[in-house]
Amino acid sequence: MTQPSGNDNLAQILDLERLDPWLYRSTYHFEERFPLYGGQVAGQAILAAGRTTDADRLPHSMHCYFLRGGDPAKPIIFDVSADFDGGSFSSRRVIAKQDGEVIFNCTVSFHKSNEGPEMQLVHPEPIGVPEELGDWDPRRLHSVAMKEPTRDNPHGNWPKDFLARVTTDLGDDPVLNAAGLIYLTDAGSGLADVRTPEVGFLSTIDHTVWLHRIPAINDWHLFNYGPRRTGGGRGLYTGSVFDMDGYLVATVSQECLFRYQRKRTS
């Protein structure tokens, strides 16, 4: 079905139709003037991959490439391949297509948890509790609440340090909660503070998330993002996602187009 966006439809967006054990299709589509949001197709892809693995194997890493701009008003076909099923790990490849063309691909690795030493060597950079922060309008995102402190850079369209959570109930399905986190990781940008009026739209090239713990994504999480480098028409940032107890839930990296705006000719 195709409907106008009401911005509270994430549960329906993440609901995939099973065409066969390795093939899935998106079921909720909506008209929008922007290309398909990258966090949406990535969240749907990790769900498609998770439906082909054993329930005791949970996603721990996802590596994504955004190849073409998608259309949120059209169905997406997710073709899953099993590259590996071992004693503790399973690896899946997912290719997403619209109108017969590949718009996105990714690999997702799943792990059956083992005992091992646990240390956290990175710590949150707090920005305050939700009640102390201003609302950031998530705009085109669905079923999302976001909070951020006051920023000095008027040219940054995305927050780099923010709190976010999914507002619709995703239950306790671990892969669905992981998909909710993947959806949120594309909502900010570590390049916000280095953007200037001369820099054009920063579309995503590739995106990686390492999941250290499956989140309860209806709870608030802190996202700390920061720039690494720009050059050659690309920009790279990395970041960390923490729960409100300070536990490192995920590590993120993203590479974007980072170019001067094209000059208009009269």
Q: Which residues contact 135 (CB under 8 A, 6 or more apart)?
A: 145, 146, 147
CA-based R_g, the chain, Å: 18
Burial 209-230 (b: 16+ CB within 10 A, else e): bbbbebbbbbebbbbbbbbeeb
For residue 133, the SS3 value is: coil
Per-residue pLDDT tens digits for 144-177: 999 999 766 555 578 899 999 999 999 999 999 9
Cα angle 54, 59, 65 (rounded to 5 degrees) comes to: 125
CA distances in angstroms from 173 to 119, 154, 169, 216, listed in the order given: 26, 39, 11, 9
Residue 128, SS3 per DSSP: coil
Domains, the chain, with CATH or none: 2-112+129-257 (2.40.160.210)
Q: The tokens 């922007």 sit on which residue?
A: 34
pLDDT at 265 over 80: no
Q: What is the mean pLDDT of the chain?
A: 92
Contacts of 245 (CB under 8 A, 6+ apart): none
pTM for the model:
0.94
Q: What is the pLDDT of residue 14?
A: 97
For 123-150, what is the mean pLDDT? 93
Contact 97, 76 (CB under 8 A): yes
**pLDDT band at residue 2, thresholds of 50, 70 and 90?**
low
Q: Which of 90, 76, 82 is nearest to 24 (CA)?
A: 76
